[in-house]
Structure 1
Amino acid sequence: MKNSIGREIPEEIIKDKGLFQGAFAHNERIIKAATKVKAVKPGEEKLLQSLEEAINKCNLKDGMTISFHHHFREGDYILNKVVDIIAAMGIKNLTLASSSLSGVHSPLIEHIKNGVITKITTSGLRGELAEEISKGLMKEPVIIRSHGGRARAIEAGDIKIDVAFLGAPSCDEYGNASGTGGKANCGSLGYAKIDAEYADKVIIITDCLVDFPNMPASISQEKVDYVVKVEEIGNPSGIVSGATRYTKNPKELLIAEYASKVITKSPYFKEGFSLQTGTGGSTLAVSRFIREEMIKSNVKASFALGGITKPMIEMHEEGLIKNIFDVQDFDLTAVESISKNSMHHEIDASFYANPHNKGCIANKLDVVVLSALEIDKDFNVNVMTGSDGVLRGASGGHCDTAACAKLTVIVSPLVRGRIPCVVDSVNTVITPGESIDVLVTEIGIAINPRRKDLMEIYKNGDIPVYTIEELYEKSISIVGTPDKIEYEDEVIAVVEYRDGSIIDVVRKVK
Structure 2
Amino acid sequence: MQKLVTDIKEAIIRCGLKDGMCIGFHHHLRGGDYVLNMVMDEIAKLGIKDITINASSIHDGHLPLIEHMKKGVVTGLVTAYIGPAVGKAISEGILKRPVVFQTHGYRPCGMEKGEYVPDIAFIAAPTSDPMGNCTGKTGKSACGSLGYAFTDARYAKKTVIITDNLVEYPLAEYSISEVDIDYVVCVDEIGNPEGIVSGTTKLPRNPVSLKIARYAAKAIEASGLLKDGFSFQTGAGGASLAAAGYLKEIMLNKGIKGSYALGGITGYLVDMLNTGCFKALQDVQCFDLKAVESIRENPNHMEISASHYANPMAKSSAASSLDVVVLGATEIDINFNVNVHTDSNGYIIGGSGGHSDVAQCAKMTVIVAPLLRTRHAVIKNKVKCISTPGNTVDILVTEYGISVNPVRKEWEALFKKKGVPIVDIYDLQKKAEKLTGIPEEVNRKNNKVVAEVVYRDGTILDKIYQV
1:505 alignment partner in structure 2: 463
| Pair 1:489 & 2:447 matched | yes
Correspondence 1:80-479 to 2 at 5 A:
80-479=37-436
- 1:299 match: secondary structure: coil
* TM-score using structure 2 length: 0.99
Would the aligned equivalents of 1:146 and 1:395 in 2 still touch at CA under 8 Å? yes
Cα distance in structure 2, aligned partners of 1:416 and 1:112: 31
- 1:393 match: secondary structure: coil
Cα distance in structure 2, aligned partners of 1:127 and 1:248: 24
C-alpha RMSD of the superposition: 0.9
* TM-score using structure 1 length: 0.90
Identical columns (%): 49
Task: Kindly state the Cα deviation for residue 113 of structure 1 after the two structures are TM-superposed.
Answer: 1.5
| Pair 1:45 & 2:2 matched | yes
Task: Kindly state the Cα deviation for residue 458 of structure 1 after the two structures are TM-superposed.
Answer: 0.8
* Unpaired segments ≥5 residues, structure 2: none
The number of residues matched between the two structures is: 466
- 1:118 match: secondary structure: strand
Cα distance in structure 1, aligned partners of 2:304 and 2:434: 45
Task: Kindly state the Cα deviation for residue 128 of structure 1 after the two structures are TM-superposed.
Answer: 2.7
Task: Kindly state the Cα deviation for residue 406 of structure 1 after the two structures are TM-superposed.
Answer: 0.1
Task: Kindly state the Cα deviation for residue 213 of structure 1 after the two structures are TM-superposed.
Answer: 1.8
Cα distance in structure 2, aligned partners of 1:255 and 1:216: 42
Would the aligned equivalents of 2:453 and 2:460 in 1 still touch at CA under 8 Å? yes
Cα distance in structure 2, aligned partners of 1:415 and 1:463: 21
* Unpaired segments ≥5 residues, structure 1: 1-43
Would the aligned equivalents of 1:301 and 1:320 in 2 still touch at CA under 8 Å? yes
Cα distance in structure 2, aligned partners of 1:336 and 1:118: 38
Would the aligned equivalents of 1:95 and 1:119 in 2 still touch at CA under 8 Å? yes
Runs of 4+ displaced beyond 2 Å: 460-463
Give the partner amino acid of 1:502.
I
Task: Kindly state the Cα deviation for residue 247 of structure 1 after the two structures are TM-superposed.
Answer: 1.1
Cα distance in structure 1, aligned partners of 2:95 and 2:249: 49
Q: Deviations over 1:427-472 (max 9, x none)?
A: 0000000000010001100001111110111113333211111111
- 2:117 match: secondary structure: coil
Cα distance in structure 2, aligned partners of 1:270 and 1:420: 35
Q: Deviations over 1:324-355 (max 9, x none)?
A: 10000000000111111111110111110111
- 1:345 match: secondary structure: strand
- 1:124 match: secondary structure: coil
